[in-house]
A and B are shown apart, each in its own frame.
Chain A
Amino acid sequence: GAVVSQHPSRVICKSGTSVKIECRSLDFQATTMFWYRQFPKQSLMLMATSNEGSKATYEQGVEKDKFLINHASLTLSTLTVTSAHPEDSSFYICSGDRVHFGSGTRLTVV
């Protein structure tokens, strides 16, 4: 079946630096990729929807300039957390559809 590969699984970065998270659809063409964020003991909240070849759609309250999304091809979507701060520490998960999710990225900003 279709697989979404997400990397890295864990990353620790210093405050002020940027971190890129990649999601690849391995055997299907993902014209859309959903990016979710999960705080500890909380549910998944949709951050943004990336669209291949066009601008991403961000949910209310999500800073576009902080969470840069690129979806340059049908198999790759990236989320870059720019100028990361400790409050950005969270679990980020991508999904190409409602069935297939990436394994998630645990981001810790120190």
Chain B
Amino acid sequence: AQSVTQPDIHITVSEGASLELRCNYSYGATPYLFWYVQSPGQGLQLLLKYFSGDTLVQGIKGFEAEFKRSQSSFNLRKPSVHWSDAAEYFCAVGLYGGSQGNLIFGKGTKLSVKP
């Protein structure tokens, strides 16, 4: 069965420090991978997605993610974290390509940013 694992429940980083949020997936075919951010009490905002091609994907707000098939990973990175990045981050896998179809989400990683 398809699944997404985010090993870190909560991460705290200092403002200006680099960030890496881990995501591992289990899926038999070509995965369609997504990262979302959720502020408290809000819906989800898409940060970036990977369907095919270049394995390093650039997203909004200075985020990027790298797809590594050999490690079944799609880790999210940001070189310098801002206080406004504090939120919950979800990795997800879609069963189909394109914009349609439901998603399977990881349990999320809460990011706290120290001043």
What is the interface of chain A, defined by CB distance below 8 A to chain B? 4, 6, 9, 32, 34, 42-46, 49, 91, 93, 95, 97-99, 101-104, 106
Contacts and interface: CB of A to CB of B under 8 A. Distances in A.
B99 interface: yes
A13 to B, nearest CB: 18
B115 interface: no
B99 A103 contact: no
B43 A98 contact: no
Nearest to B110: A41
Contacts of A34: 102-103
Interface residues of B, number: 21
A44 B99 contact: no
The 10 A-B pairs with the shortest beta carbon distances in the complex, nearest first, are: A101-B43, A97-B99, A103-B43, A43-B105, A43-B107, A101-B44, A44-B105, A104-B43, A46-B102, A34-B102
Given A43-B90, A44-B90, A97 B100 contact: yes
B25 to A, nearest CB: 13
A46 B92 CA distance: 12
A103 B42 CA distance: 5
Contacts of A6: 43
Contacts of B45: 101
Nearest to A106: B41
Contact of B46 (A32, A98, A102, A106): A98
A104 B41 contact: yes
Nearest to A34: B102
A6 B44 CA distance: 12
B46 A99 contact: yes
Given A42-B108, A43-B108, A104-B42, 7 more contacts: A9-B41, A49-B102, A91-B41, A93-B43, A93-B44, A97-B99, A102-B43
7 contacts: A9-B41, A46-B104, A91-B41, A97-B100, A98-B46, A98-B103, A99-B46
